[in-house]
Amino acid sequence: MQKIIVFTIGTIVGSFLALVAERVPENRSIIFPASYCTSCKTKLHPIDLIPVWSQLFQRSKCRYCGKHFSYTMIFTELICGFTFCLYFPFYLEPQVTINFILTLTAITLSLTDYYYYLVEPRILYASGLLMITLTLIFRTIHYPYFLTAIVMWAALRFLDHLLPNSLGLGDRKLLIIWSCFLSFYQILWIVFIGSIAGTFFFILQHRFSSANTKDLLPFVPFLSIGLFITLWFPLYF
């Protein structure tokens, strides 16, 4: 029962984070207007906004005009629900709290990168500030991690010099901020797994989709896969 409650809270948070990712890059308020169908502009009622269930029962379609909703929302809600269950009841252990925030930030920034090819700086900086504040409160600052951040900054500068624009500025900032809270070993694994997953997806996309496929690839979702694997299976990383 406890897990169901935690999962439900996770799906509600997931729904909110999806809204933040959709609205903040466009400078739209995250409070007003209330959620509405982008096709028929009808304001959605509470029954239409129950995380996961509304989309399941309505088969991901608008109840008023029949327009198909993106599966991104239900996917985000489910991922957040599982994330809350995975981290429960360890939220109050300092490094776990940081890992939890890193995971939620990764989910939100994956969405902004997917929607707009943008690592929304306000979300990234806010999460960095929150994590720095928590490490100060918990008194768990790992100074070697800041060395990781400096090494990562230098390595990414060198990469940009060697292969200009191979990695977006937002992706680089994200990796440097994450480096402040993770070991060098973890960061290397995240970049490695993210690159392998991204390359694999890129090849599949070109192999199976139409000629209109964009060459631009949002990289944060793949870095996030690297982050999830590295954090959820710490024994191996």
Nearer to Zn ion, 65 or 204 (CB): 65
Q: Among residues 39 and 209, whose Cβ is nearest to Zn ion?
A: 39
Nearer CB in complex with Zn ion: 7/69:
69
What minimum distance in Å lies between the beta carbon of 66 and Zn ion? 7
Whole-number Cα distances in Å, 28 to 22, 44, 74, 109: 9, 18, 22, 16
Residue 44 near residue 36 (C-beta atoms within 8 A): yes
Using an 8 Å Cβ cutoff, are 149 and 179 in contact?
Answer: yes
Tell me the Ramachandran region of residue 36: left when phi exceeds 0, alpha when psi lies from -120 to 50, beta otherwise.
beta
Tokens representing residue 90 in the block: 């360890």
**65 vs 169 by CB, closer to Zn ion:** 65
Cα angle 104, 107, 109; round to 5: 105
Nearer to Zn ion, 69 or 87 (CB): 69
Q: Minimum distance between the CB of residue 51 and Zn ion, rounded to whole angstroms?
A: 19
Phi-psi region of 37 (alpha: psi -120 to 50; beta: other; left: phi over 0): beta
Choose between 34 and 159: whose C-beta lies nearer to Zn ion: 34
Q: Least Å distance between CB 48 and Zn ion? A: 10
Residues counted in the chain: 237
Minimum separation from the CB atom of position 11 to Zn ion (A): 22
Site residues for Zn ion per CB under 5 A: 37, 39-40, 62, 64-65, 67
The least CB distance from residue 8 to Zn ion, in Å, is: 26
* Residues in CB range of 230: below 8 A, 6 or more apart: 182, 186, 189, 190, 193, 237
- Min dist CB 60 to Zn ion, Å, is 12
Q: At 27, list the tokens.
A: 């400078």
CA angle 139, 145, 148 (to 5 degrees): 165
